[in-house]
Amino acid sequence: MNPQDLANDAAGQAGGAGKKIAGKMARKAAGKALKFLKKIAKEFIKKLILVVGKSLLAILGPWVLGALAVVLVVAIILSAIPFADWFLGGNSRSESQKKADIQYEEKFKKAADKTVAEINNIEANAAWKANLMNTLKPSWGIPAALVRYHIVVKDKKVKLSDYDPDDLIQLFKPTFSYSTITDDMETIKTVTYCTTTDEEGNTHTTGPTTNITSTARPAHKVLSAATFNYGNMNIKPLKRYYPGGTETKTDQWDETGTSSSGDCTTTSYRQYEHTTVDDRFQPVLNIDGPKFQSVLIGQGIKQEDMKLVYEFIKTADPTWNPYLYGGNGSGNGLGGYAGQAKVSEAVMRWEPLVRKYAIIYGIEDQVNLILAVIQQESGGNHLDVMQSSESANLPPNTIIDPEVSIMYGVKHFASVFRSAGGDIKITLQAYNFGGGFIDYAQKRGGYSKEVAIEFSEMMAARYGWARYGDVNYVEHVLRYYTDWSNLTVGSDGQIFDVQEALNIMSKYMGLPYVWGGRTPSSGGFDCSGLLEFAFNKLGINLYGTAAIQYNKTVPVSESEAQPGDLVFWVTRGDFPSHVGMYLGNDSFINANNSKGVSISSVSNWNKLYPFLGYRRIVK
């Protein structure tokens, strides 16, 4: 990466590259002065140490002086280790202290589990109950984030045990409400046949005589809501009809027995209604973000640091959804998630730090593009991960702290990204050439390879260099990045505009998976919720779970499959439980647990789960 705009005093149109000359001259002069000062300082320190050493040796003796020296060295080493080191995985945390941290985490998680334990007692599908408990219980990330915040940001010496789990959980635990069901009915039908024999031995049968009576079943309670100080979840009831457990009343009856009295035989039948929670759908958790944040503020968090704290929570608890709690995390809105990085594990290990500083500088939606930049700059294998030394007006590879490199690199990326108006190609080329390229390109109608070559040749001629920057930088970075914003599909054989459906869903690329999410305001989507939301915009009713959407569509063969068809898998149970929209070329758009709203491979999913085939929406 060439010298950049972070040191603006010598850049001008030349951007970062022009600063090499000024920087080199300044460093040369500064180097000479520094050498002279070092020489004087060394002589002074030598003389001072000799004088002090001789005096102490005469007063204390050699053994005492040696012991003091050891104590001093140990003190210096200990003071150099930040208190935060234990939290970030360093070795300054003793084994007993590490054990205490693990015990605290276990204690907190047990206390959190207790806050939702009563859900186990309700009548519902086991998987539905497990998801509900995971959604509602207090996140372990909260105490972890509080400690990390006070250590890293406020420079305080705090530890996990400073927060009593039971006291802290009181601020975040749900309260459950139940509705009393009094309108479930039970219906008994009796069918009676009577058989008599006359004096002549003839048999006569009368009947059937049918009698139907209905009575109210005993009242019972059904979970109806979970409430927090900062939000709520409403849980709908569902009346089922038995026998069969159907959602609509049928003419089925359970035979309960037969009795005889005199010449008559009576057979009894039973139907009944039973109301439980509606476990066909995942209820939506509604969080008032400002109210949730006010709880954190009460724990000493500053409002301006909220994005960073959300990142700390997410780091400790990857299942926690910041969007659900009012954390957009993006300076450009939720619609800015434009693509996916295709990078090595060596690069992906830096993702948490990239996201941390992307949040700080308001460009979290560009994390994947920045990861692609790292893949190009260093492959993730150098200490100066983003080749940021020259951004800080230092010689190449001077920075040997990866976090410092990422901080400077993301800060610079954010600067050129905003100056370029969010234009990805201008941003990338300016990251390499320097900020001067932005105005140059905009005055010539935007980025093109030709414009990049012209700028490079102009700057190389100006400074007498053989070349200036990498004119292929945009191509080099984008080979590690899939830009979803450019996807196009046809609509052959469909009753709707497939491109329009894709455009609607693409606005939310990268938005997390949220169990029960049906709209963006839910903080994200689940698989059926994404399709329901998009097709509702097109005037098509796809309300319901993946299983219901499966039944609303008709099968088509793989050879006949077209973009816009739906694809289904069995991921749990024995029914359709995952759905996406097919885009052609083995790809489909969906909301899934691992990547949220994203593009996935049909063949890869087929390796993991039973595939139920392609199905089409019809009138």
pLDDT tens readout for residues 434-468: 999 999 999 999 999 999 999 999 999 999 999 99
Q: 35 falls in which pLDDT band (50, 70, 90)?
A: low
Q: Tell me whether residue 476 is one of the annotated catalytic residues.
A: no
Nearest CA-CA partner of 535 in 576, 493, 581: 581
* Single-letter residue type at 50: L
CA distances to 41, 62, 234, 325 from 518, in Å:
68, 77, 14, 16
578 is catalytic: yes
Band of residue 2 on the pLDDT scale cut at 50, 70, 90: very low
Residues 321/345, Cβ–Cβ less than 8 Å: no
Residue 393 Ramachandran class (φ > 0 left, ψ -120 to 50 alpha, else beta): left
Distance CA 301, CA 133 (A): 27
pLDDT of residue 239: 95
For the ranges 134-148, 304-318, 344-358, the maximum mean pLDDT occurs at: 134-148
Rounded to an integer, the average pLDDT of 178-195 is 97
Q: Among the listed ranges 69-73, 126-130, 433-437, which one has the minimum average pLDDT value?
A: 69-73
CB 411 within 8 Å of CB 420:
no
Confidence of residue 348 (pLDDT cuts 50, 70, 90): confident
The pTM of the full predicted model, rounded to 2 decimals, is 0.57
CA dist 493 and 115 (Å) reads 51
* AA letter at 286: N
Q: Which residue in the list 150, 368, 393, 527 is annotated as catalytic?
A: 527
Segment 537-545 mean pLDDT: 91
Helix (H) or strand (E) holding 399: none
Cβ–Cβ under 8 Å, residues 84 and 149: no
pLDDT level of residue 405 (50, 70, 90 thresholds): very high
Q: Are residues 534 and 518 in contact, defined by beta-carbon separation less than 8 angstroms?
A: no
Q: Half-sphere exposure of 481 toward its Cβ, with a 13 Å CA cutoff? A: 26
Cα 128 vs. chain centroid, distance in angstroms? 21
Question: How far apart, in Å, are the Cα atoms of 479 and each of 182, 339, 342, 426, 430?
Answer: 63, 12, 8, 16, 18
Pairwise CA distance, residues 240 & 218, whole Å: 16
pLDDT attached to residue 473: 96
What is the pLDDT averaged over residues 499-514?
A: 87
Q: How far apart are CA 143 and CA 163, in angstroms?
A: 7
Q: Which amino acid is at 105?
A: E
Choice among 8, 578, 585, 604 that is catalytic: 578
540, exposed or middle or buried, with CB in 10 Å at 0-12, 13-18, 19+? middle
| Model pLDDT, residue 48 | 63
In this predicted structure, what is the pLDDT of residue 359? 78
Q: What was the pLDDT predicted at 15? A: 39
Catalytic residue list contains 91: no
How many residues are given for the chain? 619
pLDDT beyond 90 at 482:
no
Instruction: Give the least confident one: 197-201, 261-265, 411-415.
Output: 197-201
* Res 148: pLDDT: 84
Given a cut of 50, is residue 612 above it in pLDDT?
yes
Q: What is the pLDDT of residue 564?
A: 95
With a CB cutoff of 8 Å and minimum separation 6, the contacts of 423 are 446, 447
Please, which residues bridge with residue 204 across strands? 196
Q: Which domains does the chain have, with CATH numbers?
A: 1-62+328-486 (1.10.530.10), 81-174+288-326 (no CATH), 183-218+237-277 (no CATH), 489-617 (3.90.1720.10)
Q: Cα torsion for 431, 436, 439, 445, to the nearest 10°?
A: -60
Question: Distance of alpha carbon 153 from its chain centroid, rounded?
Answer: 23
Which stretches does DSSP call E strand in 396-514? 481-483
Catalytic-labelled residue, pool 368, 393, 590, 592: 590
Percent over 90 (pLDDT), the chain: 51
Angle at 329 between CA 325 and CA 335, to 5 degrees: 100
